[in-house]
A and B are shown apart, each in its own frame.
With several copies, the nearest count.
Chain A
């Protein structure tokens, strides 16, 4: 597949920029030239792309939590506390900021001050602005990334990149379809092309910004070929805008072979496709998310889910793993619970870092399968876009060719139905309008029928519901209730 999307021109980028910086008062403090100098003076150990690259070279798996609270001082304390165990730090942004509701976020800050605890589910970076955010960067000794879920993250990117954050999560599909209801893809892709261009501009000027599309999407039974396809698309879009450090992600599903195959095929195929498109000047790393769906509320059981995610991440040799906590099912974790998740993960990753990956027929088959599915789907998307990836994506979602299960967006068809097979791998029960080669689809169906036979029921919505609850109720496959 070859795409013809182009880089945003310098003029139109800077024109748009002017508007963006006006959308909230803190925008006026952004000075990109000064910011680039600031980045260049950061020590290597605080630069995301450097730390990721080194880990990848050493086949290491780094660990990173999610964390963000409303108040600046507390947010800094939180990160300082977590860096004792974490290799990479996050700053998770609150849900109002994600919707560009800065007035609501402002209220949230005030109410949090009054309540003496965070009433926001993250750190409202835009409201704080550049200097307070630099405070975050300067108070810790590890690289910090912005993690969020924002369809229009232009201002957030301007402010946080200017503040010295060296990595920015998201993409025009992955931060729209699972996170928004009514944002047109045309808009979110444009807005994210802006973000990529901004990151590209920094990078071209010697301040490399790592970009990480959000792999897990809705985190709920998303088949690997869907999420890998979207990850590669977002990777292509980002590289086209001059991004040089890209981390592609995937959310654990629970079947070891499928999960390892997903990470391996993601990295291999992304490299192939980037190069086919004449893109060579980049560093590609991977991120594995511990299970992103519903967690068990018992903390001991949650530890097992966390540990299995850590084990799979290490065996897949993902460059980093995003860590859940024993509080996952209940609410945003305390810093102590967050550290617990990190410690369990670190122990596991370290114990497994010394182990080689086994090569089995099953694994090789699964890798081949996912690559084949992704290539096929990518070709359909480019075709329908007449070679233009952005147009292809928009039309593909419209037609249901790209389809993410359980997504809240009205621009997502929601016709594809996944269920687990008898080994817990996620397969396609009904592709909806997603194009799949007939023999591939029948492989999926066969796998599901095998499970159905064993469970003595026909695969239907109830099977899917059982799968949704399965891990939180203590297993992987949602067996019929007795």
Chain B
């Protein structure tokens, strides 16, 4: 069972999607550590280290994700999480913007995958399994 850390970053209080993500990823066989809303970069990283997680799934709905996510990858590397998978999803920037632009922006920040709000979550659970196996090998090691 792979452990993953889940949370809504920054000062963002949108709680509904977060509760659904927890449910979907648990049902799909992940061990989900859900930090809920308003999670700082450090809280994400601490939880990932403590639980030996393979991935951090960041949500941002409120538009300021662009500011909140900056530097997360670097901080992960600093703290020794050099292989950790980073996903991000939600309404990532302020306003209705072209998704290609948004995707590139967050990939440039070091996220492995970037998702729109209406993504099919079952698909994401599959992607995540594949990504974990590819990056960590088929065994349950970090």
Task: State the A residues within 8 Å of B (CB).
Answer: 94-96, 98-99, 101, 104, 107-108, 111, 117-121, 149, 178-182, 218, 220, 293-294, 297, 327, 329-334, 337, 406-408, 461, 465, 468, 472
Residues 1-24 of chain B: 1 if any A CB is under 8 Å from the residue's CB, otherwise 0? 000000000111111100110010
Find the B residue at minimum CB distance from A295. B117
| CB of B115 within 8 Å of the partner chain | no
Q: Which 8 residue pairs across A and B have the least CB separation, nearest first? A: A330-B96, A408-B15, A121-B63, A408-B37, A331-B95, A181-B38, A99-B11, A95-B11
Distance in Å: Cβ of B5 to nearest Cβ of chain A: 16
| CB of B30 within 8 Å of the partner chain | no
Whether the Cβ atoms of B37 and A333 lie closer than 8 Å is: no
Give the distance in Å from the alpha carbon of A468 to the alpha carbon of B121 in the complex: 15
B-side contacts of A99, CB under 8 Å: 11
Distance in Å: Cβ of B104 to nearest Cβ of chain A: 15
Find the A residue at minimum CB distance from B38. A181
Give the distance in Å from the alpha carbon of A118 to the alpha carbon of B16 in the complex: 25
Whether the Cβ atoms of A98 and B96 lie closer than 8 Å is: no
Q: Number of B interface residues, CB 8 Å?
A: 26
Tell which of A118, A332, A468 has the most Cβ of chain B within 10 Å: A332
Whether the Cβ atoms of B13 and A178 lie closer than 8 Å is: yes
**Contact partner, B13, options A104, A149, A333, Cβ 8 Å:** A149
Distance in Å: Cβ of A464 to nearest Cβ of chain B: 10
B-side contacts of A327, CB under 8 Å: 95-96
Give the distance in Å from the alpha carbon of A333 to the alpha carbon of B96 in the complex: 7
| CB of B66 within 8 Å of the partner chain | yes
| CB of B136 within 8 Å of the partner chain | no
Give the distance in Å from the alpha carbon of A181 to the alpha carbon of B14 in the complex: 10
A-side contacts of B63, CB under 8 Å: 95, 120-121, 331-332
Give the distance in Å from the alpha carbon of A218 to the alpha carbon of B17 in the complex: 12
B-side contacts of A94, CB under 8 Å: 64
Whether the Cβ atoms of A121 and B94 lie closer than 8 Å is: yes
Whether the Cβ atoms of B13 and A180 lie closer than 8 Å is: yes
B-side contacts of A293, CB under 8 Å: 16
Task: With A180-B13, A408-B15 as known contacts, state yes or no: A95 contacts B64, CB within 8 Å.
Answer: yes
Whether the Cβ atoms of A406 and B19 lie closer than 8 Å is: yes
21 sample A-B contacts, Cβ–Cβ < 8 Å, listed by A number: A94-B64, A95-B11, A96-B11, A99-B11, A119-B67, A121-B62, A121-B64, A178-B13, A180-B38, A181-B36, A181-B38, A297-B117, A327-B96, A330-B96, A331-B93, A333-B96, A337-B96, A408-B13, A408-B38, A465-B23, A472-B118
Distance in Å: Cβ of A482 to nearest Cβ of chain B: 16
Whether the Cβ atoms of A119 and B64 lie closer than 8 Å is: yes
| CB of B97 within 8 Å of the partner chain | yes
A-side contacts of B14, CB under 8 Å: 408
Whether the Cβ atoms of B12 and A95 lie closer than 8 Å is: yes
Distance in Å: Cβ of A272 to nearest Cβ of chain B: 33
Whether the Cβ atoms of A107 and B20 lie closer than 8 Å is: no
B-side contacts of A104, CB under 8 Å: 11, 67
Whether the Cβ atoms of B11 and A330 lie closer than 8 Å is: no
Whether the Cβ atoms of A108 and B64 lie closer than 8 Å is: yes
Whether the Cβ atoms of A294 and B94 lie closer than 8 Å is: no
Find the B residue at minimum CB distance from A70. B94
A-side contacts of B20, CB under 8 Å: 465, 468
Find the B residue at minimum CB distance from A115. B66
Whether the Cβ atoms of A294 and B16 lie closer than 8 Å is: yes
Distance in Å: Cβ of B133 to nearest Cβ of chain A: 28
**Contact partner, B91, options A182, A220, A330, Cβ 8 Å:** A330
Residues facing A in B81-103 (CB within 8 A) are 91, 93-97
Give the distance in Å from the alpha carbon of A406 to the alpha carbon of B18 in the complex: 10
**Contact partner, B23, options A98, A330, A332, A461, Cβ 8 Å:** A461
B-side contacts of A118, CB under 8 Å: 94-95
Distance in Å: Cβ of B38 to nearest Cβ of chain A: 5
**Contact partner, B67, options A107, A149, A181, A331, Cβ 8 Å:** A107
Find the B residue at minimum CB distance from A96. B11
Distance in Å: Cβ of B42 to nearest Cβ of chain A: 15
Whether the Cβ atoms of B15 and A406 lie closer than 8 Å is: yes
Give the distance in Å from the alpha carbon of A332 to the alpha carbon of B12 in the complex: 14
B-side contacts of A468, CB under 8 Å: 16, 20
B-side contacts of A149, CB under 8 Å: 13
Whether the Cβ atoms of B36 and A111 lie closer than 8 Å is: no
